[in-house]
């Protein structure tokens, strides 16, 4: 076999692997998103703080009692106290200059960022909690992003209604793209397939090496896409979501296995169908 022929075959296989790997990566990502949509949204909701600002004259006893109330509230996941001095340091770092020296005093207030469990992050519940906080004499102001909470809850309900439709559509597109990739790969060998048939080779004998080759390429594509998929998930989880990896590991495994099984099934069915089509075609139709 000439070097140019070998390079052409390698290039053909390389394009097949890259194409299928890309499709499988997006398929795995979509399956993972569907399986973890609730977890992702819940994690995001639990990062929305209700910020309670305290008056300067609030005593340590009052603040301590307030924190004790928060600690026994089963709807609160955690809370973080920030002194006005710490807030000033952080703000100065963000704007790049010491505004306290410029103003001559620190206008910021002591505060507590309160984070609720996802099932409690509802507009009505948060509104009731905020009203309770505002009744405290030592509380200056309570701040939270009400529109964001409403948008998350309202839009997520709408998205869930479309998830099944999108899932079916996405799987169909994935099958179509992989099938077309395999068809283009085998198309270049259509004359070889017909020649083998003309010299007396049986259909099963002709199809077997093509099916095995495409299954191997599909398996390799699944391995590459899975490795990239897991790497991306771990990166985003460490840098953005910070979800316990043990909570999402089952969905990661399901996503990877789904792409592996799908690549095997599509590779087998598509290759079998395409080679059979070429075998049943008249030779003049192959040109």
Q: Report DSSP state, residue 46.
A: T
Write down which residue in 112, 144, 176 finishes a domain.
144
Bridge partners, residue 116, by sequence: 76
Question: Does pLDDT of 112 surpass 90?
Answer: yes
Same domain, 136 and 158: no
* Together in a domain, 63 and 159: no
pLDDT in tens, 214-238: 888 888 888 898 889 888 888 877 7
State whether 34 and 160 are in the same domain.
yes
Six-digit token pair at 19?
């194409």
> Where among 128, 144, 160 does a domain terminate?
144
Residue 32 and residue 161 in one domain: yes
Q: Are residues 55 and 25 in the same domain?
A: no
pLDDT of residue 287: 54
Containing domain of residue 114, as a range?
A: 49-144
Q: Percentage of the chain surpassing pLDDT 70?
A: 90
Together in a domain, 70 and 192: no
What band does 25 get if pLDDT is binned at 50, 70 and 90?
confident
Task: DSSP letter for 113, please.
Answer: E
**CA nearest neighbour of 233 among 212, 214, 247:** 247
Give residue 80's pLDDT. Answer: 92
Residues 177, 226 share a domain: yes
Note the pTM of the prediction, 2 decimals.
0.61
Q: How many domains does the chain have?
A: 2
Contact 73, 128 (CB under 8 A): no
CATH number (domain holding residue 91): 3.30.70.3040
Is 242 in the same domain as 157? yes
Q: Cα dihedral angle (113, 86, 106, 110), rounded to 10 degrees?
A: 30
138-190 pLDDT tens trace: 999 999 888 888 888 777 767 766 777 777 777 787 778 777 777 777 777 77
- 62 and 28 inside one domain: no
Residues 159, 87 share a domain: no
Question: Domain boundary residue among 144, 173, 197?
Answer: 144
């Amino acid at each position: 076999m000439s070097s140019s022929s070998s390079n052409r075959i390698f290039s053909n296989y390389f394009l097949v692997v890259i194409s299928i790997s890309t499709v499988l990566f997006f398929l795995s990502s979509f399956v993972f998103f569907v399986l973890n949509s609730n977890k992702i949204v819940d994690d995001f909701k639990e990062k929305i703080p209700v910020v309670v600002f305290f008056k300067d004259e609030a005593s340590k006893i009052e603040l301590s009692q307030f924190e004790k109330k928060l600690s026994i509230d089963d709807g609160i996941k955690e809370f973080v106290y920030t002194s006005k001095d710490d807030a000033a340091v952080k703000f100065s770092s963000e704007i790049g200059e010491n505004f306290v020296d410029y103003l001559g005093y620190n206008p910021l207030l002591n505060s507590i960022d309160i984070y609720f469990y996802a099932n409690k992050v509802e507009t009505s519940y948060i509104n009731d909690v905020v009203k309770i906080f505002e009744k405290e004499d030592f509380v200056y102001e309570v701040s939270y992003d009400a529109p964001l909470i409403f948008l998350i809850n309202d839009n997520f309900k709408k998205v869930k209604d479309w998830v099944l439709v999108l899932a079916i559509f996405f799987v169909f597109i994935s099958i179509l793209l992989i099938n077309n990739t395999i068809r283009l790969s085998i198309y270049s060998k259509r004359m070889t397939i017909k020649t083998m048939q003309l010299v007396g080779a049986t259909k099963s004998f002709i199809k077997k090496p093509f099916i095995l080759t495409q299954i191997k390429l599909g398996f390799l594509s699944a391995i590459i896409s899975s490795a990239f998929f897991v790497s991306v998930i771990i990166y985003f989880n460490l840098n953005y979501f910070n979800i316990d990896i043990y909570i999402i590991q089952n969905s990661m495994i399901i996503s990877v296995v789904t792409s592996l099984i799908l690549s095997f099934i599509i590779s087998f069915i598509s290759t079998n169908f395409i080679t059979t089509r070429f075998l049943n075609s008249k030779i003049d139709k192959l040109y």
